[in-house]
Structure 1
Amino acid sequence: MSAALYPAGPAHVPADLAKPSGRYRLLVTATLLSIVLFLAVYVAMVAGSIKLFVWVATFRFESYSFWGLIFHLALAIAALMLTAFLLKFAFKWNKDEDDKRLRLVPESHPELVAFIEQLCTETGAPRPKHIYLTPDVNAAVFYQHPLLSLVWPARKSLLIGAGLVNALTLSEFKAVLAHEFGHFAQRSMRLGSYVYTANRLLHDMVFGRDKWDELLAEWRRLDLRVSAVAWGLTGMVWLVRQALALAYRGVNLVHASLSREMEFQADRVAVQVAGSDAIVNALYQINRASWAYQTSLGQLGTALEHNLVSDDVYYHQQLRLADCPPAPPAFRHAAAEALAQPAQLFTAEEVTTKAEMYASHPADYLREQSAKQPYVAAPADDRSPWLLFQRPEEVRQLVTRKLYPDSAAKHPVRPAAEVEEFLAAETAELTYDEAYAETYDVRVISLIEPEQLDALAAKLPADCDLLALRQELYGPELRQRMEAHQSRKNDLAKLALFISGEAREATFTVDGVSYPAAQAREVAKKLEAEESAHKLWLSEFDERCAGLHWRLLAGQPERRAAWQARYALQLHLRLGILLTSEALQQLQQLVDGIMAAGQVQPNQVNHYVTQFEQLRQRLLGLITTARSTTLLPLRHLEDLATVADFVMRDLHFPTAAVLSGDWLNGFGHVLEVTLDRYRRLYYKNLGVVLRLQEEAAAEHAATATPIVAAVPEATVAAD
């Protein structure tokens, strides 16, 4: 590797910077003990169930009647099923999903391999067994065979996300890989494999439901003389699951603490070879890169509906990165040598939750504090890590194909720039004027029937200045109200954590006032009342807007007809969003109820089927209306005649409801896709409505006669 591609490290590094702390060693011991305790309990339960089965199978009553024999046989079957329940998950492993990994051939990327080898030498970590490239924004070390690594020394492999390479500088890339090599050197990583194995076992036993549960449910439905034992087994399994749920939380609580300490430790390895700023800047950029990557995937999903397959997702990610809000001045601009106190990129969250005890990674602001105590300066290399790859364009395209496993074979792959033209046009149609203060961005407008428009227009003064009134509607008050609304939403989300008991703090702040946690419900009620008043104001705002523009369009008959047709379509699309979102929510509530109960009793089957069928009929009614609703021309949808032509494209409407996982999954999928497509149509058509209103205002301004106040005759004479 050319030395020029390996960023220089810090000139001065404390000797014991990467030395494991006492807390780290203590947590390793605690995690090991928790795993040993779990294994001991689990083995004891299995041994007990086997002993119970042997005892029941070999026990003999003094005499047997027919039902006594059946009862004895049922007991033996129940004991065997209990043993099977405890053992079956140990042999039930999901296939490793590696279909999106691209294994790199070392000879094809000598610069990257040399970079990694030099970094391994500098960090004292062993070389990875293999290097894999994936499409996402990620970097990780992993055992390819977690079960084998529990009993046999195994080399770890390195996973690099192309979305990460695409967003970082060379110095940041070095810091991220050094962090991962810090994990390479951690013997405690093997404990992670034990925890991973225990977690899969516990999770499946506590939360998993399969043919075993279905068999037990069928047994319970038999005659009580036969099913009594099944009911007893059900209670026993429930107790076992509750006990294992406690073990699941305990093992994860201890290991989560160790995992967070492992992250701090790996960060210090990164600081040792790349300096404090590189790893902190990388953490900040990874958040932005993840948003840009996910946004690109969402947009490319829309393009795929039009048979457009991009050859390079990272072309789009770069453009979306440019759309991110400006980074703070401290990002990639700290003059480390001149700073007495290093600038901070991250700030502490106002509210922390108890769930963070189970988080595997510390909060970013804590990682920044750790990485800068002490602060280690290092020169920055702002070049792209793609320089380490041979023919990076080809690599990007190969990884992109992993995102289109089926579609690339069905549709021709297009240059990313060509697909971006489609996305830019789509975004333009969905981008509204800043004067609307995001009033329409995520909100469904109030229901105003076309018959109400004349009456709403008549409420305006006969001689009012329509343009001045429009400017007032979309003026400072609207922006202030929308900002206050967003602030209340954030406050209500925060208060929900206190009301549910998830927040760890004893106080909270709303509008600059500090309150004790006990007053969260009271303050939330006040904010909810303000939100209700805001919704009422928005409803009146929508009426004023509709009346104003209906009046404004009175002298523009062609544009008024176009606006009226668009508005009628908007009402149907509004109904589609509300109906499908409500149906999806109700479906989820019904499924949650079934999952919470664990099983459905025979007398409940008809109840659930009836509820599902009612939801299906509501969707059927909506689609029937959509088939007769003309879809007015929208960008990229000009060839579709009705709303249903787009909403139901490539979708199969579900048959009559039945209580089965396949039917529920299929119906849920149809609802989700239908809702997404209705939303797309709604906001695209709304953009056309708003532009028609803007055009009407512009024409009115160009043609309207200025209003001149009448001057009293006596006043003129006096002058």
Structure 2
Amino acid sequence: MSTSTRAVTAVTLLIGFYLLALGIVVGLIALDVALYQASGTFRPGLIKIWALTAAVGYPVVRVVFLTRRRKEDGELPGVLLTRERQPEIWAMVDRISERTGVRGPAEIRLVPEVNAGVMEESRLLGLVPGKRHLVIGAPLLIGLTEGELESVLAHEFGHYSNRDVRLAAVTVAGRRAILHTIGGLHHRANQHQAQEAAKLAAKAEKRLAKGRKPTTEQAGGGVDRVLAKLFTGYAKLYFRVSEAVGRRQEYAADQVAAQLAGRDATAAALRRIPALEAAQNFYLNRYATIGWDAGLLPPPGQVYGGLQHLLSDPKRRAELAEHALELPEEQPDPYDSHPPIHLRVAAIEALPDDGRGPGAAGPALALLHDSERVLAELEVVSLVPEASGKHRADWPELVRTAMLARAREAGEDARRALTGLGLPPTAHGLLDALDAGRAWEFTDQLPKSEQAAAATGRAAREFARPALREELAHATVVALAEAGLAGWELSWGGPAELRLPDGFADGFDAALDAACADDPDTAPLRALLAAAGLPASAAAV
């Protein structure tokens, strides 16, 4: 089936979706009329049948035809990149528009996702063209070269030249309508099921009160659940056809990108984007939001812009290069509008060498004028409202404070245990507990596994000893960090690195072993703390 045929089929199926709903309603009405005519006169039994058909038809009319769907916001997400403020990005877009011979976008917006996309405000199922929009993900600017970015944008213009954006408006509208209907029917079914479950529970309670056994009857979703399954089956057919169109469009747009930006630049961009998406997720989880719970965020512009620090680290660059070379070989998904990335790359790399190489090697971020300010604006429009209440700290302070806050939180069990024993919740308080022979009283207050909780005597102590050693080590580190004698340093190549006082690490393990022995000796660890400059009164857990 050709792409154009599939497109027509997708539109036909969208129309058929509404015809299916209308057919159910008309069929029920016709059934009611036929039964009345067959009876020859009005009979009370017809009321029950009419009530049943009304119970089936009402959800269809209510959900498909009468429920008002939320209108999309008039303002698109992201930061508007105007021609006046971003002439270099617009120059690249204009150049691609001229070479493809298609009308370019009316506006360009910067978004935080690893994505680029085009959309058009078309009307009448895409027959009447409208305002065009182009969105560019900030991570693409940060992680791609100019040549690779040009291929990504050329791919999006390939959708324009193939008129994919008009069909996309139809398929997206169809997807939204069908999902809205299915979701609405399932919602009604869940409400019906909850009501039935409450009635059955009350009935069971009454039977038990009378000494009778409750029934095994289960609550169901009623006719709404049946209708939801019917429309779900139709949805699967619609998605298979419409997403098949999307996959062919992606291959065609890749070909346009290769023609405009070159085979090698297009293949390199396709390989790099999955790695870049993985790097973005890793960066946001491990770096940008490391201080969220402590009320901290990176400096303005660095929540997204800090990704370039990660990508500049030699170790991370090597990991990303390996990721780009070893693309996963995924099976095509009939419900995905994009083919597996390894198949797209293979199709491009199979093209003849055009001699153009990887294209301009400069960082794409250089095209964005005043990038730090623009990325700060992107934070304002894309971060959750709670972000506005966070304190902005430079990276070293952010990591030190965030890691210390996590360490304090991890020491809560030890603090509670020491307080429960009437001892100061400090590292020296824990050492005092060891000297007083109360080590196992302390560990008894800590959370433990089922196996450890069931152990007794010597076995119980052997289960508890690692926990005791871990809590003592943790308390010591936190005490030093609280006093400013130790702390965590930022590393873009790995986890934050703990820095202890000079010479402290040399005797730390042996001092911990001595303090946690059956015959505890806390003197070595106390000596280490004193030599580091930590007074006993400052050794908080």
Contact 1:170-1:382 at 8 Å conserved across structures: yes
The amino acid of 2:109's aligned partner reads Y
- Give 1:305's aligned residue: 293
Structure 1 residues 6-48: Cα deviation after superposition (integer angstroms, max 9, x where no partner)? xxxxxxxxxxxxxxxxx7xx13312422431452353143144
Contact 1:202-1:248 at 8 Å conserved across structures: yes
Q: Counterparts in 2 of 1:44-443, with a 5 A limit?
A: 44-50=20-26, 52-53=28-29, 56=32, 62-63=41-42, 71=48, 74-75=51-52, 77-78=54-55, 80-85=57-62, 87-88=64-65, 91-93=68-70, 95-96=72-73, 100-143=77-120, 145=121, 150=126, 152-209=128-185, 212-213=188-189, 216=192, 237-299=224-286, 300-310=288-298, 311=300, 312-321=302-311, 322=313, 323-324=315-316, 326=318, 345-346=325-326, 349=329, 352-353=330-331, 356-372=333-349, 373-379=351-357, 380-415=359-394, 418-419=397-398, 422=401
Say what the alpha-carbon RMSD is for the aligned residues.
4.9
Contact 1:133-1:159 at 8 Å conserved across structures: yes
**1:79 Cα offset (Å):** 5.2
**2-structure distance, mates of 1:148, 1:575:** 64
**1:347 Cα offset (Å):** 5.0
**2-structure distance, mates of 1:76, 1:357:** 36
**2-structure distance, mates of 1:36, 1:236:** 27
**1-structure distance, mates of 2:303, 2:440:** 35
**2-structure distance, mates of 1:571, 1:325:** 46
**2-structure distance, mates of 1:258, 1:389:** 34
The amino acid of 1:280's aligned partner reads A
Query: Partner of 2:325: helix, strand, or coil?
Result: coil
The yes-or-no answer on 1:35 pairing with 2:8 is no
**2-structure distance, mates of 1:567, 1:273:** 73
Query: Partner of 1:106: helix, strand, or coil?
Result: coil
**2-structure distance, mates of 1:377, 1:110:** 29
Contact 1:136-1:163 at 8 Å conserved across structures: yes
**1:394 Cα offset (Å):** 0.5
**2-structure distance, mates of 1:279, 1:255:** 26
Structure 1 residues 418-473: Cα deviation after superposition (integer angstroms, max 9, x where no partner)? 435556889999xxxxxxxxxxxxxxxxxxxxxxxxxxxxxxxxxxxxxxxxxxxx
The amino acid of 1:152's aligned partner reads V
Query: Partner of 2:134: helix, strand, or coil?
Result: strand
Structure 1 residues 92-132: Cα deviation after superposition (integer angstroms, max 9, x where no partner)? 24645967422223222122212211121122232112211
Structure 1 residues 212-256: Cα deviation after superposition (integer angstroms, max 9, x where no partner)? 4467558878999xxxxxx9x976554543333232222222233
Contact 2:7-2:242 at 8 Å conserved across structures: yes
**1:56 Cα offset (Å):** 4.0
Percent pairwise identity: 22
Structure 1 residues 251-303: Cα deviation after superposition (integer angstroms, max 9, x where no partner)? 22223332222122111111112212212222232223222222232233331
Contact 2:21-2:64 at 8 Å conserved across structures: no
Structure 1 residues 354-376: Cα deviation after superposition (integer angstroms, max 9, x where no partner)? x6233322222222221122233
**1-structure distance, mates of 2:504, 2:243:** 56
Contact 2:122-2:130 at 8 Å conserved across structures: no
**1:168 Cα offset (Å):** 0.9
The amino acid of 1:265's aligned partner reads A
**2-structure distance, mates of 1:56, 1:255:** 36
Query: Partner of 1:157: helix, strand, or coil?
Result: strand
- Scaled by the length of structure 1, the TM-score of the pair is 0.50
The amino acid of 2:107's aligned partner reads H
The amino acid of 2:307's aligned partner reads Q
Contact 2:186-2:225 at 8 Å conserved across structures: no
Query: Partner of 1:125: helix, strand, or coil?
Result: coil
Can you give the 5+ residue segments of structure 1 that lack an aligned partner in the other structure?
1-22, 225-230, 332-343, 430-556, 577-628, 640-682, 702-719
Moved more, 157-166 or 247-256: 247-256
The amino acid of 1:320's aligned partner reads L
Contact 1:122-1:273 at 8 Å conserved across structures: yes
Moved more, 413-422 or 565-574: 565-574
- Scaled by the length of structure 2, the TM-score of the pair is 0.64
Change (3 A) 1:216 1:693: same
The amino acid of 2:281's aligned partner reads Q
**2-structure distance, mates of 1:41, 1:137:** 33
**2-structure distance, mates of 1:263, 1:301:** 34
**1-structure distance, mates of 2:109, 2:381:** 13
**1-structure distance, mates of 2:59, 2:360:** 61
Moved more, 373-382 or 179-188: 373-382
**1-structure distance, mates of 2:91, 2:444:** 59
Can you give the 5+ residue segments of structure 2 that lack an aligned partner in the other structure?
201-217, 409-430, 451-470, 483-494, 514-541
The amino acid of 1:377's aligned partner reads G
**1-structure distance, mates of 2:29, 2:196:** 20
Structure 1 residues 162-191: Cα deviation after superposition (integer angstroms, max 9, x where no partner)? 111111111111111111111121223322
Contact 1:119-1:178 at 8 Å conserved across structures: yes
Contact 2:185-2:225 at 8 Å conserved across structures: no
**2-structure distance, mates of 1:306, 1:223:** 47
Query: Partner of 1:107: helix, strand, or coil?
Result: coil
Change (3 A) 1:41 1:163: closer
**2-structure distance, mates of 1:687, 1:74:** 76
The amino acid of 2:18's aligned partner reads Y
Change (3 A) 1:84 1:28: same
The aligned length equals 429
